[in-house]
Structure 1
Amino acid sequence: MRIALLASLLASPVLADDEAQSNFVADNLVAIFYHELGHALIDQLELPVLGKEEDAADILSVLLIDEVWEPQIAQEIVANTAMAYAISAAASAEEDPGFWDVHGHDMQRYFTSVCLFYGADPDNREQFAIAAELPVERAAGCPEERQLAEDSWWVYLQDLSDQAPGTALKLDAAEDEFTATVIAEEIRELNERFDLPQAIEVDIEACDQINAFYIPDESRIVMCSEFTNYLWEVAEAAEL
């Protein structure tokens, strides 16, 4: 049900199916990249993480989407990433739910991303929360949840933004042109906003797994081309 509701929120009479699928893939790549950047900053800034690091990286992803993008586009990105969580949860409903995993369950990640985005501007994002079926019990605390997220992350990010531009992200290698185009734009935007503790290389390459990850010893983010291919398959199967 949530997949259909979010799809209707994103629907546009001038948006062709292939463009809707492209946006779905691109938006999820953006969110994944921001998530991996969260791991990089936790490592480089030696940040205390009171909880799961994966949760902290998810939170930063939503904050950066709001920071970099205009409100309407940011809403579309969060809607598409939330949709991906819902699709993944539905696909694995009869399989191992993965409660052992370091990441939260897909539907937990779904509701957290929706809540954090809604909580930044409840008056103007009420319809978004309704479309995503955010329960009123959770919605009531989302402004406070969002403020806590900002207080936790921006105390460190503010120092990086005060000196920008400076030490930068750099796209080092890319085997997928679509992914490279998406990530290059994010790198440009982030480099204008933040002076990083040390340079971070970003590689887009085949790695025999549907994944993206940060390698601390190399100060490198890897976006696996298999992940992009998987997102295309999800978009097509969902008939976006």
Structure 2
Amino acid sequence: MRAALAALALVAAPALAQEADPKADFVADNLVAVFYHELGHALIDQLNLPVLGKEEDAADILSVLLVDEVWEPEAAQEIVANTAYAYALSAEEGEGDDPMYWDVHGHDMQRYFTHVCLFYGADPENRADFAASANLPEERAATCAEERELADESWWTYLQPLADQAPGTAISLDAAEDEFIAGVISEEIDTLNERFDLPQEITVDIESCGEVNAYYIPDESRILMCTEFAEFLWERAQAADL
């Protein structure tokens, strides 16, 4: 596990070195990934999508696909690297604890390798160094192009009609108690609104909710980004000495 953790630090390092504040990049990149994840839950709800497996896995997959769709390759790699790095940090912190087999989310290192695999699988020729630096085993790497193709076919079957009709029904930012989170999420909202016409409007609130989390609330068509989650990411970036 420590080898994988160290590897992701190296994967992220070239892109992070160009930025003025690597800690801010780590926090922002993870906020982007989580926001896309919650949007996945929203689309599953609004489009009444069939999910053959765990919904959390489907939302994770969409997060990687949207990062690749919205961002240029170098920036997308940084986001995926920082997101995977966060999973590796969580796994390291939980060493010695009994795995939470009851949890709806996959184990942190499973999510780590899935993120790396799906990103690598979109362009194996040009992302081989990324996969190698992230210690993606050859056995898994051999299937990543197929995994990515299946993910694209599955999600884009439903995303493409939304893209064809864009712009249309929009995502909007409502309450925003944290300026940093609001700045990050506002840019994503603007970009997504240009690319997709959603089934119904989604509002996003950034506010304290008493826990480190983010939610999609179906009855309200609302994504809640907890300020505690960003605080947790800042603490994690500080502890990792980014």
Q: What amino acid is aligned across from residue 141 of structure 2 in structure 1? A: A
- Runs of 4+ aligned residues of structure 1 deviating over 3 Å after TM superposition are 12-18
SS at match of 2:76: helix
- C-alpha change, 1:199 and 1:2, in structure 2 (3 Å) is same
Deviation digits for residues 58-96 of structure 1, max 9, x if unmatched?
Answer: 000000000000000000000000000000000011123
Distance in 2 (CA, whole Å) between partners of 1:18 and 1:183 is 20
Question: Among 115, 139, 142, which residue is 1:140 paired with?
Answer: 142
Q: Is the 8 A contact 2:174 2:205 kept in 1?
A: yes
TM-score (normalizing by structure 1): 0.97
Per-residue deviation, 1:12: 4.0
Partner of 1:197: 199
Per-residue deviation, 1:98: 1.3
Partner of 1:22: 24
Distance in 2 (CA, whole Å) between partners of 1:130 and 1:60 is 23
Question: Among 207, 210, 227, which residue is 2:209 paired with?
Answer: 207
Q: Is the 8 A contact 2:16 2:22 kept in 1?
A: no
Question: Among 161, 166, 169, which residue is 1:167 paired with?
Answer: 169
- C-alpha change, 1:13 and 1:98, in structure 2 (3 Å) is closer
Aligned residues: 240
Per-residue deviation, 1:97: 2.0
Partner of 1:128: 130
Distance in 1 (CA, whole Å) between partners of 2:116 and 2:218 is 29
Q: What amino acid is aligned across from residue 11 of structure 1 in structure 2? A: A
Matches within 5 A, 1:220-231: 220-231=222-233
SS at match of 1:166: coil
Which blocks of at least 5 consecutive residues in structure 2 are unaligned? none
Partner of 1:74: 76
SS at match of 2:174: strand
Partner of 1:111: 113
RMSD of the TM alignment (CA)?
1.4
SS at match of 1:141: helix
TM-score (normalizing by structure 2): 0.97
Partner of 2:238: 236
Deviation digits for residues 31-75 of structure 1, max 9, x if unmatched?
Answer: 000000000000000000000000000000000000000000000
Partner of 1:92: 94
Partner of 2:219: 217
